Amino acid sequence: MQLSLTLILCLATGVVSWQALSNSELFSKLSLSPYRVKHNKEIYRIWSHTLVHADMGHLFFNLFALFSFGRAVEHYMPPALFALLYMGAAAFATLPALKKHGDNIYYTSVGASGAVSAVMMLYMFMFPTSELLFFFILPLPGWAAIILFFGLEYYMNKKMNTAIAHDAHLAGAAFGIAFLLIWKPQEFLDFFVVVFHSIAG
User: pLDDT per residue over 146-166, tens digit each?
Assistant: 999 999 888 888 876 666 788
Question: Domain total for the chain?
Answer: 1
Cβ-defined contacts of 4-9 (< 8 Å, 24+): 4/70, 4/71, 4/74, 5/70, 5/74, 5/79, 5/82, 5/83, 5/86, 6/66, 6/67, 6/70, 6/71, 6/74, 6/82, 7/67, 7/71, 9/66, 9/70, 9/86
Size of the chain, expressed as the number of residues it contains: 201
Helix, strand, or coil (residue 134): strand
Torsion (CA) 11, 12, 14, 19 in degrees, nearest 10: 140
Report the alpha-carbon distance of residue 146 to residue 124 in Å, rounded.
7
Q: What is the pLDDT of residues 66-122, one digit of tens each?
A: 999 999 999 999 999 999 999 999 999 999 999 999 999 999 999 999 999 999 999
Task: State residue 1's pLDDT score.
Answer: 47
Helix, strand, or coil (residue 154): helix
Q: Domain residues for 35?
A: 5-200
Asked if the model's pLDDT at residue 201 lies above 90, the reply is no
Helix, strand, or coil (residue 133): strand
Check which CATH number belongs to the domain holding 34 and give it.
1.20.1540.10
Predicted structure pTM score? 0.92
